[in-house]
Chain A
Amino acid sequence: MATISIEHASKSFGSTKVLKDISLDVKDGEFLVLLGASGCGKSTLLNIIAGLEPMADGTIRLDGEVVNDVHPKNRDIAMVFQSYALYPNMTVERNIAFGLEMRKISKAERKATVREVASTLQIEHLLSRKPSQLSGGQRQRVAMGRALVRRPKIFLFDEPLSNLDAKLRGEMRTEIKKLHQTLKATMVYVTHDQIEAMTLADRIAIMKDGEIQQIGTPQEIYSKPANMYVAGFVGAPPMNFVEVDLVKREEQLGAILPAVLKGEPVDHFLPLPNSKHLEARENTKVILGLRPEIITDSTSTHSSAPEIECDVEFLEPTGADTLCIIRLNGHPAKARVSPLFACPPGESMRFTLDTHRACLFDPTTEQAIT
């Protein structure tokens, strides 16, 4: 059993507020990812959970018990750091055992536990080496071992994979996920990498400027972003935003989508389904959010979706798909089509738009319109 509950946490460094009234609950055994750009406060929040930094205001509970004043070593938490923070003067074995040594565990017991952890992580052959003799991936494993050996209730990860190359990062991601499934421990994981967040998390909390923008499952975050920041942060290439007029034609509410066809401006009318809640916004401007895969070649999707025809300016082949850069309301937008159907740049082609999956945002508040 290990739940984390934070209420109204706030903190400032000098005059900058790094955390503004954050409340957050982590369920037992949950894998929560704190996702955000650097400086958004995610690492500070993690350090507060660890007890390494005090809060200015707020309460933090572990298993329902207030631990604001409990020393980090008594919180039964382990942490993996971005730089691994291995003690350079100690062997791998002593690095892993150091936490046990500080807790006055007997030497024999220490040795046995370290062996066990080392075999789980397949680093037994490295035990007598110094950190400087290890590769990045090996250091990463040792850092994990140091956290695992104490069998804490809660694991904290502070961007643990950001110093690894892309291939190793993928492998370690899988291992961390496997570890979570075997240990069933509560884990909080900080990253700026949305792929890591999407693949690892049970739930993601997206942070910006010391505030949580949205908490939800990866799928919720991706398909129902709460605001334009979240929508733009998650997904690659990012969501296209187009400012459009909402108008009614033949009793159907829709958006006027200005595009370019054969060099000439052309307005497409895009009927919006399930638009009851939008009635009040008729004849106003809204932001239409279209992920690239929503704009696709008309041959690959069912024909009921509306179609537009417009000029393709450039192509960006990615292998599995080809991205067509088109112009919507004066700004470049990306469409994801099958390589088989991409037309050469400079020509025009027909795209279908799956309006069911489109998002709408208020242009002033930037919040999703629901």
Chain B
Amino acid sequence: MAEPKTLPGANGKRHLLGRLFIWTLLLAAAVLYLGPIYVVLSTSLKDLAEIRAGALLDLPHELNFTAWREAWSSACIGVRCEGLRPYFLNSVIMSVPSVAISTLIGALSGYALSLFRFRGANIIFALMLFGCFIPFQIVILPMAQTLGFLGVANSITGLIVVHTIYGISFTTLFFRNYYVSVPQELVRAATMDGAGFFRIFWHIMLPLSVPIIVVSVIWQFTQVWNEFLFGASFTSGGSQPVTVALNNLINSTTSVKQYNVDMAAALIAAAPTLVVYIIAGRFFVRGLTAGAVKG
């Protein structure tokens, strides 16, 4: 019997109409998803007169980067008029250590949880999983007090501590679920060869972990960079991260609204995670779905 090369219905007019229908829907959706970023980008390149003329969806008459310059280095946020730059740097200083430390701890504890089925490993796993889902409003009041007690209130260091701690649940789960899929025999073989816990981790597991390290780093970076609640609750003034500064800029009611500066600032704040997404989208998706797909 001849195997049909394409699925039935893959011929004639009906097929063509079907494809047309599918493509129309897909492209319409693409326009809707791209719309906001197009509007934001084009607005950021217009001058205020052009914006006030109300041609929201029109292309800018000329490329005008003044708003970008202003958003980066001179826009007033609160009483300081240095633009987003200091807050952007705050976010960088905050993200790098919290991503690195939580990934490292997550790798080690995920490894310990995955390969050694000790009594209680399941309970720990369940408690960690639940820790990924809690609304952070439940911890901000005690955390505010604890940060004060530790002497890191209203500081980037405090935010690093917070992000590291609440990142561990996620990173541990990423690594645990990854290591569970590594054949047990590999660990057994290494044990027979005379390698202990740390040497197996270092020589065998870590070299295998590149994909999950990328997933974990991207996930943590996106989370930490985009986070708002902790930044708004635990910092003020000069130690705020970029999301909080952006919100202050947008919602300031003091001066004339400079929409082009607002939009440029929004794009600056979004740029790092967008770049990461465009470069390593595949890993980004894996991080997003890792929590949903069974380990």
Contacts and interface: CB of A to CB of B under 8 A. Distances in A.
A78 B208 contact: no
Contact of A85 (B189, B194, B207): B189
A82 B185 contact: yes
A81 interface: yes
A161 interface: no
Interface stretch (A95-103, A168-176, A300-308): A95-103
Interface string B171-193: 00000000000010110111111
A102 B185 contact: no
B140 interface: no
Contacts of A99: 192-194
A288 to B, nearest CB: 44
Contacts of B185: 81-83, 85
Contacts of A83: 183, 185
B195 to A, nearest CB: 5
A73 B192 contact: yes
Given A79-B189, A85-B185, A102 B199 contact: yes
Given A82-B185, A83-B183, A88 B208 contact: yes
A50 interface: yes
A72 B204 contact: no
A1 B188 CA distance: 25
How big is chain B's contact interface, by range? Answer: 10 to 19
Contacts of B188: 47, 50, 52, 79, 81, 85
A73 B208 contact: no
Interface string A66-78: 0000001100011
A78 B194 CA distance: 10
A87 B191 contact: no
B191 A72 contact: yes
B213 to A, nearest CB: 14
Interface string A318-330: 0000000000000
Interface in B180-222: 183, 185-186, 188-195, 199, 203-204, 207-208
B208 A102 contact: no
A86 B192 CA distance: 13
B194 A102 contact: yes
A365 interface: no
B208 A89 contact: yes
A103 B194 contact: yes
Interface in B220-266: none
Interface string A142-156: 000010000000000
A272 to B, nearest CB: 50
B192 A79 contact: yes
How big is chain A's contact interface, by range? Answer: 20 to 34
Contacts of A52: 188, 191-192
Given A82-B185, A83-B183, A102-B199, A89 B192 contact: no
A83 B185 CA distance: 7
A102 B189 contact: no
A50 B192 contact: yes
Nearest to B199: A102
A79 B203 CA distance: 19
Contacts of A82: 185
A237 to B, nearest CB: 33
A103 B186 CA distance: 18
Interface in A25-76: 47, 50, 52, 72-73
A89 B193 contact: no
A362 B156 CA distance: 81
B199 A81 contact: no
B261 to A, nearest CB: 50
B192 A87 contact: no
Contacts of B199: 102
A54 B207 CA distance: 29
A99 B204 CA distance: 13
Given A81-B185, A85-B183, A85-B185, A72 B192 contact: yes
B192 A77 contact: yes
Contacts of B203: 87, 98
B193 A98 contact: yes
A81 B192 CA distance: 11
Contacts of A72: 191-192
A13 to B, nearest CB: 10
A146 B191 CA distance: 13
A85 B187 CA distance: 8
Given A88-B208, A89-B204, A89-B208, A98 B190 contact: yes
Interface in A75-134: 77-79, 81-83, 85-89, 98-99, 102-103
A261 B190 CA distance: 63
A50 B190 CA distance: 12
A146 B193 contact: yes
A85 B136 CA distance: 43
Contacts of A78: 192
Nearest to B209: A89
A81 B207 CA distance: 21
A102 B200 CA distance: 10
12 contacts: A52-B188, A73-B193, A78-B192, A79-B189, A83-B185, A85-B185, A85-B186, A88-B208, A89-B204, A98-B190, A99-B193, A99-B194
Interface of A: 47, 50, 52, 72-73, 77-79, 81-83, 85-89, 98-99, 102-103, 146
Given A73-B191, A99-B192, 17 more contacts: A50-B192, A52-B191, A72-B192, A79-B189, A82-B185, A83-B183, A85-B186, A87-B203, A87-B204, A88-B208, A89-B208, A98-B193, A98-B195, A102-B194, A102-B199, A103-B194, A146-B193
Instruction: Give the 3 A-B CB pairs with smallest separation, nearest first.
Output: A89-B207, A102-B194, A99-B193
